[in-house]
Homo-oligomer: A and B are copies of this chain.
Amino acid sequence: MPKPLALHDDRLFPADPGTRAIARRLYGLIRDLPIISPHGHTDPAWFSGNAHFGNPTQLLLAPDHYLYRMLYSQGIAMGDIGVGDRSGPSKADPRAAWRLFAGNFHLFRATPSWLWLNHVFVHVFGMEVALSADTADLYYDTIDAALKTDAFRPRALFDRFNIELLATTESPTDTLDHHHAIRASGWPGRVVTAYRPDPVVDPEHEDFQSALHLFAEVTGEDVHDWKGYLNAHRKRRRDFMAVGATSTDHGHITANTADLSQADAEKLFRKVLKGDFTPTEAEVFRGQLLTEMAGMSIEDGLVMQIHPGAFRNHNGQVFDRFGRDKGGDVPSRTDYIRALKPLLDRYGNDPRLSIILFTLDETTYARELAPLAGHYPVLKLGPSWWFHDSPEGMMRFREQVTETAGFYNTVGFNDDTRAFLSIPARHDVARRVDSAFLARMVAEHRLHEDDAAEVAVDLAYNLPKRAYKL
């Protein structure tokens, strides 16, 4: 007999009854606030075209890197669960893939995927029994049927999810057609873009040269000239702002910045263009570009997001076969104190600049990030990210950051996801964990409950709007 599935109203709250009661009251104030999603990776085509999503495997399983990582780690071939490779889409039968996943769902116990997916199953699809080998087909059929209805098309879900704003992320060579179409469509949903220049900023990116050519085409600038290249960035930032962008995003492997003279920067740029550079020079070039982007942000007001620390494609064999984002990206020890100094020496006290820092290295929370954000007016801290975007990870973030940086040098939650259906689940987890943290502060008489209530609303709603200038 299948196990019943239900989401307990008190999930993620501390077990102590007194503290739990406080958490419940705080959460009650923020549960139904609209969702601000200022950083993520959903596909704008969904909202411009508003087509039906595909089958359950295509929508929920194959694109979710949390899922195929774990399954692969236990010896399950990625192709068998619907993940395509460089030679084309997976040939796995979607239902067979789903069954394979369902039979291994126990692997996700106590992971965030367990929380997110069960939330989606209950709230989005109305499931009442737990996912397992026995219920795989029931799940598949129920979800598949739902996805064929209008109530489950992207815009309908966007409204149902009570999303006030959703940001996607696009490359500097993107035409932004989908964003233009969304705006032209008259649909009132607020979907905006963010400027992520990595492909034309990282000389070691496998598509750097071809991206530069596209960059020239889309801007009409001579991007092989340093001034033309910088102008191309300026133009594209304006293009992005025209479809709602209020932020840029930078996913370098380190947080290194540089502050070269324009003559030296230009010289380095010429080496980079010729492909005649050392890894150190590539690193300096990326670091210089962060400082250039900060300068442009002072001009045009875009908020910078720096997401360092991902060692991409660690598994060479898997990368060769499956390509980017599947090759076992892993976190990397990250320094901020020395890395950010060149940029901060130049712009760290400029009231026009705002930089949101993220990390995959939790050891920097108390040691580097909170002390930096607790001093520099240009710095704020993004929420716990990716591998740490989880109840324990979020709690460690608050525990290790708050005492030095306070709540007001943080920016609320980012879901950072391409899994659109999980967005309410993820924001719900964040709101519950923040309520739990604040409840402990109140229960330990470190904060009055009315102060905690103000903070709860700020974290869930006001801070992201303010930090991202929305």
A positions within 8 Å CB-CB of B: 3, 7-8, 10-19, 69-70, 72-75, 106-112, 114-115, 130, 311, 314-318, 328, 330-333, 335, 337, 341, 344-345, 348-349, 351, 360-363, 366-368, 370-377, 379, 387-388, 390-393, 399-400, 402-409, 440-441, 443-448, 450-451, 454-455
* A14-B15, A314-B337 known, 12 other contacts, Cβ within 8 Å: A7-B445, A12-B445, A73-B375, A73-B377, A106-B408, A109-B451, A110-B406, A110-B441, A110-B455, A318-B349, A331-B367, A333-B337
Q: Are B393 and A366 in contact (CB under 8 A)?
A: yes
Q: Are A406 and B372 in contact (CB under 8 A)?
A: no
Q: Are A387 and B371 in contact (CB under 8 A)?
A: yes
Q: Are A328 and B74 in contact (CB under 8 A)?
A: no
Q: Are A403 and B399 in contact (CB under 8 A)?
A: no
Contact flag A15-B400 (CB < 8 Å), given A374-B73, A375-B72: no
Q: Which residue of B lies closest to A18 (CB)?
A: B15
Q: Are A368 and B107 in contact (CB under 8 A)?
A: no
Report B-chain residues with C-beta under 8 Å of the C-beta of A399.
Answer: 392
Contact flag A446-B110 (CB < 8 Å), given A18-B15, A69-B375, A403-B392: yes
Q: Are A12 and B111 in contact (CB under 8 A)?
A: no
Q: Are A451 and B106 in contact (CB under 8 A)?
A: yes
Chain B nearest CB, measured from A22 CB (Å) = 9
What is the CA–CA distance of A31 and B101 in the complex, to the nearest angstrom?
Answer: 32
Q: Are B403 and A348 in contact (CB under 8 A)?
A: no
Contact flag A16-B13 (CB < 8 Å), given A331-B368, A403-B393, A448-B3: no
Report B-chain residues with C-beta under 8 Å of the C-beta of A362.
Answer: 363, 366-367
Q: Are A315 and B349 in contact (CB under 8 A)?
A: yes
Q: Are B375 and A12 in contact (CB under 8 A)?
A: no
What is the CA–CA distance of A447 and B11 in the complex, to the nearest angstrom?
Answer: 10
What is the CA–CA distance of A11 and B448 in the complex, to the nearest angstrom?
Answer: 11
Q: Which residue of B lies closest to A9 (CB)?
A: B445
Q: Which residue of B lies closest to A369 (CB)?
A: B330
Report B-chain residues with C-beta under 8 Å of the C-beta of A406.
Answer: 70, 107-111
Report B-chain residues with C-beta under 8 Å of the C-beta of A345.
Answer: 316-317
Q: Are A348 and B317 in contact (CB under 8 A)?
A: yes
Q: Are B407 and A377 in contact (CB under 8 A)?
A: no
Report B-chain residues with C-beta under 8 Å of the C-beta of A344.
Answer: 314-315
What is the CA–CA distance of A390 and B454 in the complex, to the nearest angstrom?
Answer: 23
Q: Which residue of B lies closest to A340 (CB)?
A: B314
Chain B nearest CB, measured from A222 CB (Å) = 35
What is the CA–CA distance of A390 and B405 in the complex, to the nearest angstrom?
Answer: 12
Q: Are B373 and A446 in contact (CB under 8 A)?
A: no
What is the CA–CA distance of A328 and B333 in the complex, to the nearest angstrom?
Answer: 23
Q: Are B408 and A376 in contact (CB under 8 A)?
A: no
List 9 A-B pairs, minimum CB-CB distance, nearest first.
Answer: A8-B445, A11-B445, A15-B443, A390-B403, A328-B375, A330-B371, A15-B19, A15-B16, A331-B367
What is the CA–CA distance of A114 and B444 in the complex, to the nearest angstrom?
Answer: 14
Q: Are B349 and A112 in contact (CB under 8 A)?
A: no
Report B-chain residues with C-beta under 8 Å of the C-beta of A363.
Answer: 362-363, 367
Report B-chain residues with C-beta under 8 Å of the C-beta of A108.
Answer: 406
Report B-chain residues with C-beta under 8 Å of the C-beta of A315.
Answer: 344, 348-349, 375-376
Report B-chain residues with C-beta under 8 Å of the C-beta of A392.
Answer: 399-400, 402-403
Report B-chain residues with C-beta under 8 Å of the C-beta of A373.
Answer: 73
What is the CA–CA distance of A441 and B110 in the complex, to the nearest angstrom?
Answer: 7
Q: Are A447 and B109 in contact (CB under 8 A)?
A: yes
Counting chain B CB atoms within 10 Å of each CB, the highest count among A8, A330, A379, A451 belongs to A330
What is the CA–CA distance of A354 and B108 in the complex, to the nearest angstrom?
Answer: 21
What is the CA–CA distance of A333 and B337 in the complex, to the nearest angstrom?
Answer: 9
Contact flag A391-B371 (CB < 8 Å), given A15-B16, A337-B330, A446-B115: no
